[in-house]
């Protein structure tokens, strides 16, 4: 799925972010929820006058309907914290959401910042000259302003020297299933730097902000706020939402690493977790080798103590969110679908799903540079036929306009339903012998 929060998706997501400050349901309208939240929203600055009308086009060549979102009476200061932000860094849908949703919220009158690691020498981000000491490390901040959103990048060799460039490594490790052994340190530094970014930069948002932490890499943001900052009188008016995009990746580590997190002892219970895996996948014990070893050595029914970052994030946040209503129901359905965190989610107040929207600028068939033939409402059939034939030719299939083509886009794992597809292929081919199936 190529999903991103756009005009209509952005309005729903805005309600969820506003409700993170209230701790209530997101069922009310954006206008009413904003007014209820207004007394707590503009802590660090006075209410700014929003533009009276905002028309969000549905995209060139699309329907002529005009979306006119209701602007908030009191705009919020919102800080998204994420390990990925497209186009600077991306491994999946997380980067897309952190690219598009903040833009839509900014259109609605909110002041919005995203904070992500600086993995590369981004040509459009400039050094702010702000340097902080975090866990004894000198950490810098780079900045870019795009489409009304402040894009902030955390600068430290623990990010910049590890990824791409000469190393050829990915964001989280050299390859999938072989995470960097110091990922705990990397994202511990990142989470504290992200909180500080709200108040230490020249364009300071102050301490009365709403943080939106995304996935396990940012899970220490709510923990630090609730157990470190607020007890010391800092960020006392801040609220934090914790949004998960994939519950399968939770940030599980050995308990021996606890001291390296530099968190108060009262936080430890939030992290405590047990599972049936005798290994933690990393570059020292990569998944392909570790899985084979576990099959040979792990006793049935035996459990192993771990630290679970996502669990701690759920238990510390003011509001838990995810990327669709269906997924919100799924992750609390049972231990399998919730990957052993279904009970934790229920105990922490539940979770709300807000469906992603699609960015109708990036994914616009009239302007999409990846399409061989661009098309609009009057040429949909011709455009799609041309795209189909180009795909058939590119992957070496017979270019047959009559053959149905089924495309699968996703990782080859059970969570994405690839097992269902594989089981269905024999019957598909039997019922439609000329059918072509492409796994991208």
Does 338 share its domain with 400?
no
Does 255 share its domain with 200?
yes
Nearest to 26 by CA among 223, 318, 237: 318
Span 122-181, pLDDT tens digits: 999 999 999 999 999 999 999 999 999 999 999 999 998 877 655 566 899 888 788 999
- The yes-or-no verdict on residue 409 having pLDDT over 90 is no
Element (H, E) at 392: helix 380-394
Averaged pLDDT of the chain: 83
In a domain, 49, yes or no: no
- 406 close to 435: Cβ distance less than 8 angstroms: yes
Phi, psi of 267 (to 5 degrees): -80, -20
Say how many domains are in the chain: 2
Residue 258's Cβ-side half-sphere holds a number of Cα atoms within 13 Å equal to 17
Residue 308, exposed/middle/buried by CB under 10 A (0-12, 13-18, 19+)?
buried
What is the DSSP-derived secondary structure letter of residue 151? E
Q: What pLDDT score does 51 carry?
A: 34
Q: What pLDDT score does 25 carry?
A: 39
- CATH number where 343 lies: 3.40.50.2000
Does 387 share its domain with 333?
no
pLDDT band at 66 (very low <50, low <70, confident <90, very high): low
User: What whole-number distance in Å separates Cα of residue 163 and Cα of residue 292?
Assistant: 28
Cα dihedral: 249, 85, 234, 221 (round 10): 0
Secondary structure of residue 133 in the 3-state scheme: strand
Does 314 share its domain with 420?
no
- The yes-or-no verdict on residue 244 having pLDDT over 50 is yes
Does 194 share its domain with 251?
yes
In a domain, 364, yes or no: no
- 186 close to 251: Cβ distance less than 8 angstroms: no
In a domain, 367, yes or no: no
Tokens of 406: 């089924």
Q: Tell me the whole-structure pTM to 2 decimals.
A: 0.79
In a domain, 426, yes or no: yes
Task: Give the whole-number percent of the chain exceeding pLDDT 90.
Answer: 65
Does 384 share its domain with 268?
no
Does 426 share its domain with 319?
no
Q: What pLDDT score does 92 carry?
A: 82
Secondary structure of residue 162 in the 3-state scheme: coil
Out of 228-232, 358-362, 409-413, the most confident range is 228-232
In a domain, 9, yes or no: no
User: What whole-number distance in Å separates Cα of residue 355 and Cα of residue 276?
Assistant: 33
Element (H, E) at 94: helix 93-107
Q: What pLDDT score does 62 carry?
A: 43
- The yes-or-no verdict on residue 271 having pLDDT over 80 is yes
Question: DSSP string of 181-196?
Answer: TTHHHHHHHHHHHHHH
- The yes-or-no verdict on residue 394 having pLDDT over 90 is yes
Among 316, 336, 353, the domain boundary falls at 353
Task: Give the whole-number percent of the chain exceeding pLDDT 70.
Answer: 80
Span 97-109, pLDDT tens digits: 999 999 999 999 9
Tokens of 186: 């990397």
User: What whole-number distance in Å separates Cα of residue 89 and Cα of residue 92?
Assistant: 9
Among 296, 318, 353, the domain boundary falls at 353
Does 156 share its domain with 255?
yes
Does 181 share its domain with 92?
yes
Residues in the chain: 440
In a domain, 209, yes or no: yes
User: What whole-number distance in Å separates Cα of residue 372 and Cα of residue 388?
Assistant: 10
In a domain, 407, yes or no: yes
Residue 107's Cβ-side half-sphere holds a number of Cα atoms within 13 Å equal to 24
Q: What pLDDT score does 259 carry?
A: 96
What is the span of the domain harbouring residue 428? 380-439
- The yes-or-no verdict on residue 207 having pLDDT over 90 is yes
Residues 6+ apart with CB under 8 A from 198: 77, 79, 113, 204, 205, 206, 207, 209, 211, 235, 238
Element (H, E) at 408: strand 405-408
Among 298, 318, 353, the domain boundary falls at 353
The contacts found for 288-292 with CB under 8 angstroms, 24 or more apart, are: 288/177
Angle at alpha carbon of residue 27, lines to 53 and 237, rounded to 5°: 80
Does 343 share its domain with 388?
no
Residue ranges with strand state E in 68-121 = 77-81, 111-117
Does 269 share its domain with 385?
no
Average pLDDT over residues 289-307: 71
User: What whole-number distance in Å separates Cα of residue 214 and Cα of residue 61?
Assistant: 33
In a domain, 312, yes or no: yes
Does 215 share its domain with 104?
yes
Question: DSSP string of 297-313?
Answer: HPPTT--EEEEEHHHHH
- The yes-or-no verdict on residue 55 having pLDDT over 70 is no
User: What whole-number distance in Å separates Cα of residue 80 and Cα of residue 241?
Assistant: 9
């Amino acid at each position: 799925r190529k999903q991103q929060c756009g005009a209509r998706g952005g309005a729903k997501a805005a309600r969820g972010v506003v409700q993170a400050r209230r701790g209530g349901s997101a069922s009310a309208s954006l206008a009413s929820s904003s007014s209820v939240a207004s007394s707590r929203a503009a802590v660090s600055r006075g209410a700014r006058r929003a533009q009276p009308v905002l028309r969000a086009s549905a995209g060139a060549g699309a329907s002529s309907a005009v979306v006119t979102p209701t602007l908030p009476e009191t705009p919020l200061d919102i800080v998204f914290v994420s390990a990925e932000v497209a186009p600077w860094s991306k491994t999946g849908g997380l980067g897309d959401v952190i690219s598009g949703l903040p833009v839509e919220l900014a259109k609605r009158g909110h002041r919005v910042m995203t904070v992500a690691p600086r993995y590369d020498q981004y040509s459009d981000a400039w050094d702010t000259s702000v340097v902080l000491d975090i866990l004894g490390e000198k950490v810098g901040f780079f900045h870019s302003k795009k489409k009304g959103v402040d894009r902030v990048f955390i600068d430290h060799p623990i990010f910049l020297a590890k990824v791409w460039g000469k190393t050829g490594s990915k964001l989280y490790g050299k390859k999938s299933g072989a995470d960097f052994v110091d990922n705990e340190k990397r994202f511990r530094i990142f989470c504290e730097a992200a909180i500080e970014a709200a108040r230490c930069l020249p364009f300071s948002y102050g301490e009365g902000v709403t943080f939106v932490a995304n996935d396990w890499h940012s899970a220490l943001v709510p923990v630090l706020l609730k157990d470190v900052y607020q007890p010391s009188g800092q960020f006392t008016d801040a609220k934090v939402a914790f949004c998960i995009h994939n519950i399968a990746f939770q940030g599980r580590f050995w308990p021996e690493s606890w001291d390296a997190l530099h968190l108060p002892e009262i936080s430890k219970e939030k992290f405590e977790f047990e599972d049936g895996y005798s290994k933690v996948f990393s570059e020292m014990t990569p998944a392909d080798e570790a899985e084979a070893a576990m099959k040979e050595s792990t006793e049935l029914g035996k459990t192993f103590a771990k630290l679970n970052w996502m669990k701690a994030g759920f238990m510390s946040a003011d509001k838990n969110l995810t990327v669709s209503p269906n997924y919100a129901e799924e992750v609390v359905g049972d231990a399998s679908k919730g990957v052993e965190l279904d009970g934790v989610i229920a105990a922490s107040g539940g979770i709300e799903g807000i469906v992603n929207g699609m960015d109708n600028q990036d994914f616009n068939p009239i302007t999409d540079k990846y399409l061989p033939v661009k098309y609009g409402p009057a040429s949909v059939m011709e455009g799609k036929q041309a795209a189909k034939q180009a795909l058939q030719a590119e992957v070496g299939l017979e270019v047959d306009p009559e053959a149905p083509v089924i495309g699968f886009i996703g990782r080859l794992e059970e969570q994405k339903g690839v097992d269902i597809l594989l089981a269905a292929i024999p019957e598909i081919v039997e019922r439609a012998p000329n059918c072509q199936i492409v796994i991208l």
